[in-house]
Structure 1
Amino acid sequence: MSRKPSSYNYKRLSSRVRESTIETHVSAPRPSVGHRKGANQRYARSAVRGEIHQVLPNTTTREDRFAYEARMNRRSYVERNVAAGRRRKIALVAALAVLIVIVACVVASFVFANGINSRLVLDDSSLKSALVADSGEGKATYSLLCADFDDGEDGASPDSIVVMRTDPEANTAYAISLPSNTRVSTDGSSRTSLGEIRASEGSAGLISAVNSLLGIKLSHYATIDAQNFAQLVDELGGIDVNLPEDIVDAQAGDMRLSAGEQTLGGEQAVFACRADDYAVNAEETRGKVQALVAVALMQKATSVEGGFGYYMRMDGLANLVQTDMDVKAIGAFLESIRSISAENMQVAALPTYSAQSSGKTYQVPADDAITEMMNRIRAGETPQANAADVLGSIDAGSYTVSVYNGGDVVGAASEAADMLRQVGFNVTDTGNTSMQVYDETLVVYGDADKENAANAVVAALGIGRTLQDTVHYSFDTNVYVVIGKDWRTVLAARNETVDEDGNIVPLSQKDASATSSDESNSSASSDSDVDAEGSFAAAANSAA
């Protein structure tokens, strides 16, 4: 058993502990508790018992106690500690200020974006339900653009309907223009136009009709009126469009646009989209011009800078257009198509033919041609096959063709026959139908294997619609052509017409509206008149 320490040893230990405690910064060690006069008795008893309240920490400098105390007592050391503490406080305050600024910016941006979206985004639940995120065609996206240009046509609201197909992965973009008076079936039997559907069923009904017509799934929708469209074009600095021909139309506006590359301002762009007084294939040409304007507008929109500048620009444009997308989604969409090159942006007009019903003129979809066009677009090809390629795909000399004038256009059958002979077709018969009632040129064939030949005839003439029909039309040749009233547009495009003797003369020498027919070949008999839908129960050739 160890011996209890003596009182001397207790005091000695307490003295050493006292010398090691940290009190205040003094230059010399303080005397031990036992020798200090008037020392606090509680601290003295603690020291005697060996209680340690503060000890000097270990230092990395390995300095002894006296050197450590001397260093801590220097004025410069204290000032450095005070300065370091001040710097820490300043840094903390700065960090808090930056954090507050960031939070404020985020909140302000959120409020700013919401303000833009409140003016930009359509509040239509049925519209959003009709749109789908996935088109089912990889990265391709279909968007529907509608513009009301107030051109005064019955049943033609909206005046412009353009479907945009963008595929960043394939680096392609297509604009397909649909006439607003395109006739469609809504329930398998009832027939109405796209414009009438939008007026009665809203945007959701229009989306459903377009999806069914083209066999697609639309993902986005946007709408604009004439005044805002003009302002949008001006806000973007104008658009560059290569017009296919001169545009002069007094009903569309008091101006003239020349064919070729043009930079259009807002009012000029609206005029180009309204105009439909074209020399050849007026409805098709108008559709292609509208598609060209849509593509040019998309190109200009993709040039808008990103970041904060984008939001500032969209703040100014949000009042002009309405869409299903918010400002962030539009930015992401524009960024995704920014890489599509201009040469890979193509336009097309919906293949249709004219017909009348209840006193109104409609465009009836050519279903087979639409299917072919969409297949070519999905494959990344041109929307319509090149005429030279179509002609080169057949041996024209192996097909017989008969050509008849059914549109009361002087010399039309003779001229069309000459055009077909020039490309190699064996034209065996020309004449007049018994009734001059055909508005459009028809190219009729019987057997399915003659379809390519019929398409080649259309390519050679530059006008016409193919039709497989042996019930209403009687003919002995492989292909039977009925020239319609639309042939006048072919002549007008060349500033020519036909005189009373069947000779082609400049338009200035004879009024192009001449209606007499002087073709003397055998006439074709008619089985029945043109019905209200524009389908033909035919003025067929009875000579067969």
Structure 2
Amino acid sequence: MYEGKHSAAKPRKRDYIRVFTLWALMIALFVGAGSFVFARILEERIHTGTPAHGADEELACNAPEENEPATFLLLGSDTRGGEDERGLADTIMVLRVNPDKKIGYLISIPRDTRVDIPGKGKRKINAAYQYGGPDLMIETVEDFLGLDINHYAVVDFQGFKDIIDALGGIDIDVEKRLVDDRHQIDIRPGYQHLDGEEALKYVRIRRVDDDFGRIERQQKFLKAVMDKLLRVSSLLRIPQLADITSRNLKTDPELGVTRMIGYGKNFKSLGRENLHMVTVPGTPQEIGGGSYVIADEGELAWILERIRSDLPLELTEEEKENLNIRVEVQNGSGTAGIAHKMAEKLGALNFKIREVGNAQSFTYYDTQIIASEEKAELARRVQSKLGFGRVVVEGASSETIDVLVIVGRDYSRMIGESDD
């Protein structure tokens, strides 16, 4: 049995199947649709009335402070065997919401992404759930993304069709004809009204494209479900939806009714337009006879820094212009790795990082942003986007660098890094 920093009690036997749409219920809850009634019903059913869904598990998740960013791991598992089998994580998403900045992100992780699973080595990320349940999956995702998980939810696919049918079906623009003779799937292109059975086929079909295409369809479907849930007419369906959800949802013990209501109040002003959906970038690759997705580390680092900085994933016109500003970053504080962290931050703001290294000394307390007189305006732009640092105008222009940033101890202390 896996034992780690998120150790949990042995789970009860259960059979999880693929799920997707119930996550829309959670997200709709977080943006304020009938949060009190929905949360109260879920609390009574999930944590007190449904022990078979894991009410005895004690996985240690750390709930955030009020108005602090909250990060949720959302899982659906694919169990094909008997009750003794835990199953692979068929769908993996991370929901992060900052109510103070009124921005949220839904990160989809391709299930074949090759990562380090603690104690297991390089594996497909979906295997972490089978090896160690939510416990090991949380640790694996935290290590992979560098984001602390505050709560988790594992949802069962059994209620999928009931949820969609309870909503009266979903209208969606099918992007192309989707055919899979093996599973008797044939969905025509164009605007379609999908009942539970057809919706199930739409989100499940695999043979028409790769994992990225499937994720794109799931995200598109999720938006359609959210739109339907947030209509006034759907509020009347909350008791029925909550009843279905309670039979197909397991969460960590910390995500009780009080926190659900709190999240609902804090997140209600977010709005779907401020929820940014993104897929971990990568490319399919064959390794040792197995098919994997290899994450693009550079692009992923950019996305994660944008998320940590609570910035939209779409660049502003000013940020697009930043790509023309060439920046060198030097460590002037002596804190190991601080220049690379600054480079990641500046890269997330779309500045072009040309070099990263050490300054001539480690005696800088204040971060300095240096440029020649003719490029002083570029230094001021860098300072404006960073929100700190001192602009220094000196020296002659360089042919390869526009702005030099020497990272001081102020930044080390700002992000909680020791400069000893």
TM-score by length of 2: 0.55
1:289 match: 217
1:171 match: 102
State the alpha-carbon separation in 2 of the partners of residues 149 and 247 from structure 1. 25
Q: Which aligned pairs between 1:337-348 and structure 2 lie closer than 5 A?
A: 337-348=267-278
Q: CA separation of 1:143/1:369 partners in 2, compared to 1, >3 Å: closer, same or farther?
A: same
Counting matched residue pairs gives 282
State the alpha-carbon separation in 2 of the partners of residues 194 and 203 from structure 1. 12
Residues 447-505 of structure 1, C-alpha deviations (whole Å, 9 max, x = no match): x849xxxxxxxxxxxxxxxxxxxxxxxxxxxxxxxxxxxxxxxxxxxxxxxxxxxxxxx
Q: CA separation of 1:345/1:334 partners in 2, compared to 1, >3 Å: closer, same or farther?
A: same
Give the superposition deviation at 1:183. 1.0
Alignment counterpart, residue 269 of structure 1, candidates 199, 202, 212: 199
Give the superposition deviation at 1:182. 1.2
CA contact (8 A) 1:148 1:159 kept: yes
State the alpha-carbon separation in 1 of the partners of residues 113 and 165 from structure 2. 30
Q: Which runs of 5+ in 1 are unaligned?
A: 1-109, 396-447, 451-544
Do residues 353 (structure 1) and 283 (structure 2) align?
A: yes
> RMSD in angstroms over aligned alpha carbons?
4.3
State the alpha-carbon separation in 1 of the partners of residues 321 and 198 from structure 2. 38
CA contact (8 A) 2:172 2:193 kept: yes
Residues 494-526 of structure 1, C-alpha deviations (whole Å, 9 max, x = no match): xxxxxxxxxxxxxxxxxxxxxxxxxxxxxxxxx
1:143 match: 72
State the alpha-carbon separation in 2 of the partners of residues 302 and 315 from structure 1. 18
Residues 23-50 of structure 1, C-alpha deviations (whole Å, 9 max, x = no match): xxxxxxxxxxxxxxxxxxxxxxxxxxxx
1:123 match: 55
Q: CA separation of 1:309/1:194 partners in 2, compared to 1, >3 Å: closer, same or farther?
A: same
Do residues 224 (structure 1) and 152 (structure 2) align?
A: no
Q: CA separation of 1:233/1:380 partners in 2, compared to 1, >3 Å: closer, same or farther?
A: farther
CA contact (8 A) 1:247 1:275 kept: no
Q: CA separation of 1:156/1:357 partners in 2, compared to 1, >3 Å: closer, same or farther?
A: farther
Q: Which runs of 5+ in 2 are unaligned?
A: 1-39, 326-352, 356-420
Q: Which aligned pairs between 1:93-492 and structure 2 lie closer than 5 A?
A: 114-115=44-45, 117=47, 118-119=49-50, 122-123=54-55, 125-126=57-58, 128-129=59-60, 131-134=61-64, 139-148=68-77, 157-187=88-118, 190-239=121-170, 241=172, 245-250=175-180, 251=182, 253-258=184-189, 264-278=194-208, 282-298=210-226, 300-301=228-229, 313-324=241-252, 325-327=255-257, 329-383=259-313, 393=323, 449=354
State the alpha-carbon separation in 2 of the partners of residues 157 and 213 from structure 1. 18
2:12 match: none
State the alpha-carbon separation in 2 of the partners of residues 115 and 319 from structure 1. 8
Give the superposition deviation at 1:236. 3.5
Q: CA separation of 1:293/1:390 partners in 2, compared to 1, >3 Å: closer, same or farther?
A: same
* Structure possessing the higher radius of gyration over alpha carbons: 1
CA contact (8 A) 1:135 1:217 kept: no
Q: Identical aligned pairs, as a percentage?
A: 22
Give the superposition deviation at 1:159. 1.9
Give the superposition deviation at 1:133. 0.8
Give the superposition deviation at 1:170. 2.4
Residues 213-259 of structure 1, C-alpha deviations (whole Å, 9 max, x = no match): 1111112222223332232233334445565x325140565131535
**Aligned AA for 1:338?**
K
Give the superposition deviation at 1:149. 5.9
Which one has a larger percent strand, Structure 1 or Structure 2? 2
State the alpha-carbon separation in 2 of the partners of residues 234 and 366 from structure 1. 39
State the alpha-carbon separation in 1 of the partners of residues 217 and 235 from structure 2. 33
CA contact (8 A) 1:249 1:276 kept: no
